[in-house]
Amino acid sequence: MELQPTLERAPWWLRGSDRLGALILRSVVIMRNVASFALITVGVTLRKWRQSREAILPVVLGEIHRSGIQLLPMLTFMAAALGLVIIGQTVSLLTKVGVQDIAGMVMVTVVVRELGPFITALLVLTRIGTQTVIELSTRRAMGEVEALEALGIDPIHYLVMPRVIGLSVSIFALTVYFIILALVSGFLFTMVQDVALTPSDYFTQIALALRWEDFILLTLKTFAFGTIIATVSCYQGLAFPVRLEDVPRVTTRAVVVSVVACVLIDAAFIAAYLVLP
Amino acid sequence: MNSTLPSVALENVTVQNTGRNGAQLSGVDWTIGGGEFWIVAGRPGDGKSDLIATAAGLRRPTEGNVSLFGKDLAESNEQELAEMRNKVGFVFENGGRLFRGLTALENILLPLVYNRQLPFHELKEVGLAALESVQLSHLGHRLVEHIDRPLHQRIALARALVLKPEVLFLDNPLFTPDRREFAWWRHWLAEGKGNLAKPDDNPNSMVLATSEFRQAHELDARFAVIDSEGWHLIGNRDELKSHPNPTARELLMETP
């Protein structure tokens, strides 16, 4: 006679809690490994910041071109769509109910603090993060990482650090571009709807609603998003030997982990906004 | 370099064979002295690549000690390892593991630019000379994806030589379906062996891993064989001819 029931025979809630526990443990292990990888990257970045710039700088610029400039058309479309669909309608609605005076504050809270950085980060993650996972896992599978080591080149320094810097700079620049374009296109939509709000009133309200901490926190947040996306993508691409059939699973995991980490960081920034006077 | 000092020394080393699941090559005692040319022969999957990668300090042995230029790898820090790797050249098998997205010239100059911290344009002539030494200077500005695969290992050779390594490891360059490439490598190995004697010219020592033993056994070298029984040091060319090791004889197409 079995003294302990097997999990298959256990009630549904026990099986459910077992699965949940396994999921939480797996998530904790992944987060711990990514955090270790991030710390190694930070260590290498600090130690080798000025070293081999002739070799590293072209990779950083290439990454900025790939994750920044090449994404401009897509980002332009997204910003215009957000401006037309959400901002235009919001401003129009605020004007209808007679509270157009708070339009600037709403825009700063919604677009500058939240939607701008988050949508840009998601766009970069889906376009560049996934590409990075596939590229690095292929490089590892082809033995290029070992070849770098054989030539005395630190793979973290040459492959990871430029991606972290490049992606962070790109997300910051793209977010600024996204916010400006969304705010302008949103106002254009309100003009089409004959909303009684002059450009001068609209942009003055936004300027007055912006505080110095918005600039600092926006910079910190976008750099944090860039660092998270680059680190997670590089970790998933480089940490394990990946077979061809594993690539979709690893890529999906990179997206999920990045999104969760970005949401957590975003929550921390919301808390910071609330704490600030 | 003083040719009497061993460049690489392996003491009772065990190597995990990535070519065969779970198999290990154990009890390897091997010293590569200055000015020596070694040929390590074995069948595909016997662990030649794993052994020479371990000897080059690219992988850690499961057991035993590996020393490069008199320094134990296990006791070396990251900085020392990086310095040692600059004295060791390694040409990987099956295409040499060139970096995709870069031209042949950029592939060759990358280790120099990274390690010597000099700009690409200042080193262009050095890179072209390295490509010229493998007779591929006309391919310098072509992306490696657009270069015929059999030529890749030659570019990888130029990339390894540009750092002027004291020891050069070559992983199976003779294993190529291209007859012209095979002939080129055969000629280069014979010539390269001759250059080992020159005191001011690196590489000072050379190791060739090959599964094409019949094509390599006439080279003036020291021989070792890997088979399912393990690691066998054979000796020089004369000793090879009379050695009773069945795998060595089989590889030479002789009946044991």
Task: Provide the ipTM.
Answer: 0.85
**Chain B contact for A153 (CB, 8 A cutoff):** yes
* Whether residue B205 sits in one domain with residue B146: no
* Whether residue B58 sits in one domain with residue B10: yes
Of B41, B14, B37, B48, the residue nearest B204 (C-alpha) = B37
Most B CBs within 10 Å, among A52, A53, A54, A144, to test the B interface: A54
- Token readout for A268 is 């921390």
* Whether residue B193 sits in one domain with residue B68: yes
Looking at residue A194, what is its pLDDT? 76
Residue B20 — pLDDT band, cuts 50, 70, 90?
low
* Whether residue B189 sits in one domain with residue B221: yes
Q: Please state the domain count of chain B.
A: 2
Calculate how close chain B gets to A196, using CA atoms only, in Å: 54
Most B CBs within 10 Å, among A48, A137, A151, to test the B interface: A151
Full domain range(s) for residue B107: 101-164
| Kind and range of the H or E run holding B226 | strand B222-227
**Chain B contact for A101 (CB, 8 A cutoff):** no
What does the alpha-carbon distance between residue B19 and residue B211 come to, in Å, rounded to a whole number?
A: 14
In sequence order, the 6+-apart residues with CB closer than 8 A to the CB of A261 are: A31, A34, A228, A232
A163 touches A230 (CB < 8 A): yes
Q: Is the pLDDT of residue B103 over 90?
A: yes
The chain B residue lying nearest A141, using CA atoms, is B97
* Whether residue B67 sits in one domain with residue B34: yes
Q: pLDDT tens digits for A153-181?
A: 999 999 999 999 999 999 999 999 999 99
Q: pLDDT tens digits for A195-219?
A: 777 888 888 888 898 888 899 999 9
Determine whether A277 is exposed, middle or buried from the number of CB atoms within 10 Å of its CB (0-12, 13-18, 19+).
Answer: exposed
- Beta partners for residue B32, in sequence order: B8
Nearest to A152 among B85, B117, B120 (CB): B85
Looking at residue B256, what is its pLDDT? 38
Report strand pairing: B205-210 vs B167-171: parallel
Of B203, B204, B248, the residue nearest B223 (C-alpha) = B248
* Whether residue B172 sits in one domain with residue B158: no
Residues of chain B whose beta carbon is less than 8 angstroms from a beta carbon of chain A are: 53, 56, 58, 82-83, 85-86, 88, 90, 92, 96-100, 110-111, 113-115, 117-120, 159-160, 163
* Whether residue B69 sits in one domain with residue B27: yes
What does the alpha-carbon distance between residue A254 and residue A246 come to, in Å, rounded to a whole number?
A: 12
Cis, bond preceding B199 (omega within 30 deg of 0): no
Q: Is the pLDDT of residue B51 over 50?
A: yes
**Chain B contact for A53 (CB, 8 A cutoff):** yes
Looking at residue B255, what is its pLDDT? 39
Residue after which a domain boundary falls, among B126, B146, B164:
B164
Q: Is the pLDDT of residue B56 over 60?
A: yes
Q: Is the pLDDT of residue B240 over 60?
A: yes
* Whether residue B173 sits in one domain with residue B228: yes
* Whether residue B122 sits in one domain with residue B45: no
Calculate how close chain B gets to A133, using CA atoms only, in Å: 16
Q: Which residue has the tokens 């001759």?
A: B194
B117/A52 Cβ within 8 A: yes
Calculate how close chain B gets to A59, using CA atoms only, in Å: 11
Residue B4 — pLDDT band, cuts 50, 70, 90?
low
pTM of the model: 0.85
- Return the amino acid letter for A149: E
Q: Is the pLDDT of residue A22 over 70?
A: yes
Residue after which a domain boundary falls, among B164, B195, B212:
B164
Q: Is the pLDDT of residue A243 over 80?
A: no
A178 touches A79 (CB < 8 A): yes
A53/B117 Cβ within 8 A: yes
A150/B85 Cβ within 8 A: yes
- % of chain A with per-residue pLDDT over 90: 53
Looking at residue B2, what is its pLDDT? 45
